[in-house]
Homo-oligomer: A and B are copies of this chain.
């Protein structure tokens, strides 16, 4: 439920409770809260809106008595399927729709394309997605050393708030650039000097900048199919023509790419751990990709998004280090190790591109906030980062095993899961002919969040599958999630 779309004004005439009831009522009649939607618990909504729980309880009661809601306070309240008024729905919920602003506003082509990209989040009404098995891409925030981080934050602020509030460098806080260069050399075999490292607001911005700097509107770019969705969004924003290139058990099918668009400007790949299939790009493919890029004067954008978490044997070296003289832009992120909310990622770019990337960054949004960068640099150089990665590697390895164990016992016929050496999610293959979107919807109605593989496909087809994130899901929730999923898919 979009709690933020409820506008309550403590200074207005009506009581907050009446205002809340009215806001909910109009969200329901306008269809923003669809029939059958489960509302947030009164406690959760009270917290969201900074209201007392009584205020929310009273508003809910009122709507229950008026017939807008059904169910029971305390056990689950839903938007009624039969609403008391059918007429009012037109546009009441949009208080500030500008009268002279057009209703289909004149957007740029890229903005129209971006708004048409689907939102992949399948959210169970009434349950916060951050609380559900098998949410994707989020680390185990509960296992994060928050006291330690809080202490580093406090110390750093006390010691050098003047520096933290001073103007910063667009390319990043120098101590963090050095720490990242050292870390990448050691752990990922990336070969670079700190000057090649640019600190950005997460992998998403890294991808946006790469697209902006390396291709002109209309130029073709290879994307993995199936592939990472938000990365595609960054390319669309830059006006790229997407060329979906199939992925098989060896990674991106480079020959297919060369047939489809031999003169593409860039190729976005996840060689260490393909998203979402989890395969690693083999050496022959790596060579072929690097050769193509050299011949075509194209760029390879290597998104190394979660290879910190490798459970068996040695991690595969980054493509960048495999051929450090090649045309590779390397992207990494702290979202998977610390948190996506931190918004810190990085690019390693060939030295001749540093200036252009820095300029693009400067004019995009200046720089990444300095406090986060400084604390993160401390976190790394004091050794906490490696320690945390090692701890999480053990934890996530155990969670993956638990998920596999439970699935072996309870999901055999409905979903085939195999172990993956790397990453934070598994791919559960559905029996032939089963529609994965329908399966994901069944699952979410049972309270389990999965992502259908076909949402990540552009043109490729193939067996349906559900992606199950496990890294950020506590053990009890994994067990319960498998049970619910087995029931939902029966």
Give me the interface of A with B, judged by CB distance under 8 Å.
1-5, 7, 32-34, 37-38, 40-41, 44-45, 47-48, 50, 94-112, 114-115, 117, 129-130, 138, 141-142, 144, 146, 149-150, 153-154, 157-158, 161-162, 164-169, 171, 174-175, 177, 182, 185-196, 200-202, 204-205, 208, 212-217, 219, 230, 233-234, 236-237, 239, 265, 294, 297, 299, 314-315, 317, 321, 324-327, 338-343, 350-353, 355-356, 359-360, 362-372, 383, 386, 390
Q: Please state if B193 and A48 are interface contacts (CB–CB under 8 Å).
A: no
> Are A189 and B4 in contact, CB atoms less than 8 angstroms apart?
yes
A4 to B32, CA, bound (A): 51
A101 near B191 with CB under 8 A, answer no
CB distance from A442 to the nearest CB of B (A): 24
Q: Determine if A174 and B237 form an interchain contact, defined as CB atoms under 8 angstroms apart.
A: no
- Which B residues are CB-close (under 8 A) to A365? 200-202, 204-205, 208, 343, 365
B205 touches A366 (CB 8 A): yes
Are B4 and A47 in touch, CB under 8 angstroms? no
Contacts of A174 in B (CB 8 A): 3-4, 48
* Identity of the chain B residue whose Cβ is nearest the Cβ of A338 in the assembled complex: B165
Check A153/B142 contact, CB under 8 A, given A2-B191, A174-B48. no
Taking A186-B40, A363-B204 as contacts, is the C-beta distance between A369 and B341 under 8 angstroms?
Answer: yes
List 29 A-B pairs, Cβ < 8 Å: A2-B186, A2-B189, A2-B321, A3-B185, A40-B186, A45-B186, A50-B175, A96-B191, A96-B325, A98-B351, A101-B350, A105-B356, A106-B214, A107-B213, A107-B353, A108-B212, A108-B219, A111-B214, A111-B356, A111-B360, A114-B359, A115-B356, A115-B359, A201-B201, A205-B365, A212-B237, A341-B371, A365-B365, A369-B369
Of the listed residues A106, A114, A342, the one surrounded by the most CB atoms of chain B closer than 10 A to its CB is A114
B4, B102, B196: which contacts A314 (Cβ < 8 A)? B4
Interchain residue pairs A-B with the least CB separation, the first 7: A233-B363, A205-B365, A4-B189, A165-B339, A201-B365, A111-B213, A101-B350
B95 A191 Cβ-Cβ under 8 A: yes
Instruction: Tell me whether B109 and A208 are in contact (CB under 8 A).
Output: no
Contact indicator A363/B47 (Cβ below 8 Å): no
A100→B356 contact, CB < 8 A: no
Q: A3-B186, A101-B325, A108-B212 are in contact. List 8 more A-B contacts (CB 8 A).
A: A95-B192, A96-B193, A98-B352, A101-B327, A150-B158, A205-B366, A208-B364, A233-B363
Query: B97 touching A297 by the CB < 8 A rule?
Result: no
Contact A360–B237 (Cβ < 8 Å): yes
Q: How far is the CA of A70 from the CA of B142 in the complex (A)?
A: 41
Give the residue name and chain of the B residue nearest to A4 (CB): B189
Are B96 and A324 within 8 A (Cβ)? yes
The distance in angstroms between the C-alpha atoms of A5 and B362, with both chains bound, is 18
Q: Name A106's closest neighbour in chain B (CB-CB).
A: B297
- Other-chain residue from B4, B102, B219, B363 in contact with A237 (beta carbon distance below 8 A): B363
Interchain nearest-CB distance for A377 vs B (Å): 10
Kindly state the separation between the CA atoms of A168 and B7 in the bound complex, as whole angstroms: 19
Known: A111-B356, A187-B3, A214-B108. A366 touches B202 (CB 8 A): yes
Determine the residue in chain B with the shortest Cβ distance to A92.
B193
Contact, CB under 8 Å: A100 / B325:
yes
Given A48-B174, A182-B1, CB of A383 within 8 Å of CB of B41: yes
Q: How far is the CA of A105 from the CA of B94 in the complex (A)?
A: 49
How far does the Cβ of A186 sit from chain B's closest Cβ, in whole Å?
A: 5
Tell me the complex Cα distance, A364–B340, Å: 14
Give the most central of A129, A167, A315, A327: most B CB within 10 Å. Answer: A167
> Cβ of A367: which chain B residues have Cβ within 8 Å of it?
341, 343
Known A3-B174, A356-B114, A365-B205; contact A350-B97, beta-carbon cutoff 8 A: yes
In the complex, which residues of chain B have a beta carbon less than 8 angstroms from the beta carbon of A153? 153-154, 157
- Give the nearest-CB partner of A137 in chain B: B167
A352 & B111 in contact (Cβ 8 Å cutoff) = no
Known: A364-B208, A366-B201. A164 touches B341 (CB 8 A): yes
Residues from chain B with Cβ under 8 Å of A34 in the complex: 193
- B residues in contact with A297, CB < 8 Å: 102, 106
Decide: A342 and B363 in contact? CB cutoff 8 A: no
Nearest CB of chain B from residue A59's CB, rounded to whole Å: 15
Please report the C-alpha to C-alpha distance between residue A114 and residue B359 in the assembled complex, in whole angstroms.
6
CB distance from A42 to the nearest CB of B (A): 12
A2, B195: Cα distance in complex, Å? 10
Q: Are B363 and A364 in contact (CB under 8 A)?
A: no
Q: A343 is contacted by which of B94, B99, B105, B369 (Cβ under 8 Å)?
A: B369
- Please tell me which one of the listed residues B5, B212, B314 contacts residue A110 in the complex, with CB atoms under 8 A apart: B212
